[in-house]
Amino acid sequence: MKLPRFTTTLAFRISSLFLLMLFISGGGFWWWLNGTSLTGDMAAEEEAWYASKAETELDSLAAQMSLSFEDSEAMTQEAMNFGRDINRYSAEIIVFDGEGLNVFSSQPDSLSLAVASVNPQLMYDMSSGIWDYGTYPLPEDVDAYENRVFEVDRLFQNNDTASPVIGYLVASYRPATISLGDIETAERKIGLNAIFLLLIYSGISGLVIMVWTTRRISILGQGVEAFATGDFQARVPGTSGDEIGSLGRNFNHMARNIETMMEKLRDKEQFQRNLIANISHDLRTPMASMRGYVETLSMQGDTLSTVDRERYLAIINGNLVHLDKLIDHMLVLSRFDSGQATFQMEDFPLVELADSVLMRCEGLAAERNISLDIELEGTESLVHADPLQIAQVLQNLIENGIKFNQDNGKVLVGLKTVGDLMEVSVKDSGMGIAAEDLPHIFKRFYTADKSRTRAVDGTGFAAVQDHLGQSSGLGLAIASKIVAGHNSMLQVTSVLGTGTTFSFSLKTASTIEAMDQEA
pLDDT tens-digit series, residues 142-187: 888 899 899 999 999 888 888 889 999 999 988 765 555 665 666 6
pLDDT (mean) for 111-130:
84
**Structure confidence at residue 502 as a pLDDT band (50, 70, 90):** very high
- The pLDDT tens digits for 387-405 are 988 998 998 899 889 988 9
Question: Quick one: pLDDT at residue 371?
Answer: 94
Range of the domain at 425: 268-518
- For the ranges 234-248, 273-287, 469-483, the lowest mean pLDDT is seen at 273-287
Question: Checking DSSP bridges between strand 346-349 and strand 382-385, what pairing results, if any?
Answer: antiparallel
pLDDT at res. 461: 35
Residue 461, sorted as left (phi over 0), alpha (psi -120 to 50) or beta, turns out to be: beta
CA pseudo-torsion sign 106, 107, 108, 114: negative
Number of domains in the chain: 3
If asked whether residues 172 and 187 sit together in one domain, one would say no
Pairing of the two strands 410-418 and 371-377: parallel
The CA R_g of the chain, rounded to the nearest whole Å, is: 56
Whole-angstrom Cα distance, residue 393 to residue 483? 8
> Is the pLDDT assigned to residue 455 strictly greater than 60?
no
Average pLDDT over residues 58-84: 85
pLDDT for the residue 416: 93
Q: Looking at the predicted structure, is the pLDDT value of residue 217 above 90?
A: no
Residue 256 lies in a domain: no
Residues 234-259 have a mean pLDDT of 80
> Average pLDDT, stretch 271-289?
68
Task: Kindly state whether residues 19 and 114 are assigned to the same domain.
Answer: no
pLDDT for residue 194: 73
Q: Is there a single domain that holds both residue 204 and residue 143?
A: no
> What's the mean per-residue pLDDT of the chain?
79
pLDDT in the model for residue 464: 37
How much is the average pLDDT of 283-302? Answer: 78
Show which of 119, 142, 177 is a domain's final residue.
Answer: 177
DSSP line for 188-249 = HHHHHHHHHHHHHHHHHHHHHHHHHHHHHHHHHHHHHHHHHTT-TT------SSSHHHHHHH
459: pLDDT confidence band, cut at 50, 70 and 90?
very low
- 491 phi and psi, to 5 degrees? -115, 160
Q: What is the pLDDT of residue 515?
A: 57
| Residue of 2 and 118 predicted with greater confidence | 118
Q: What pLDDT does 445 receive?
A: 64
DSSP tag of 117: B
In a domain, 254, yes or no: no
Name which of 75, 128, 84 is nearest 106 in CA terms: 84
Q: Are residues 165 and 286 in the same domain?
A: no
> What CATH number is attached to the domain comprising 338?
3.30.565.10
> Which one has a higher pLDDT value, 35 or 156?
156
* pLDDT in the model for residue 457: 41
Tell me: do 305 and 453 sit in the same domain: yes
Residue 246 lies in a domain: no
Both 170 and 215 in a single domain?
Answer: no
User: What is the share, in percent, of the chain residues with pLDDT greater than 70?
Assistant: 78
Return the minimum-mean-pLDDT range out of 74-78, 150-154, 337-341: 337-341
- Per the model's pLDDT, the better-predicted residue between 87 and 416 turns out to be 416
DSSP 8-state secondary structure symbol assigned to residue 87: G
- CA separation for the pair 185, 179 (Å, rounded): 10
- Residue 62 C-alpha from the chain's centroid: 79
> The whole model's pTM is what?
0.44
* 258 within domain boundaries: no
In a shared domain, residues 153 and 212? no
Calculate mean pLDDT across residues 136-147. 87
197: in domain: yes
Classify residue 373: in a domain, yes or no.
yes
Position with higher pLDDT, 364 vs 122: 122
pLDDT of residue 351: 93
In a domain, residue 259? The reply is: no
pLDDT at 279 (0 to 100): 65
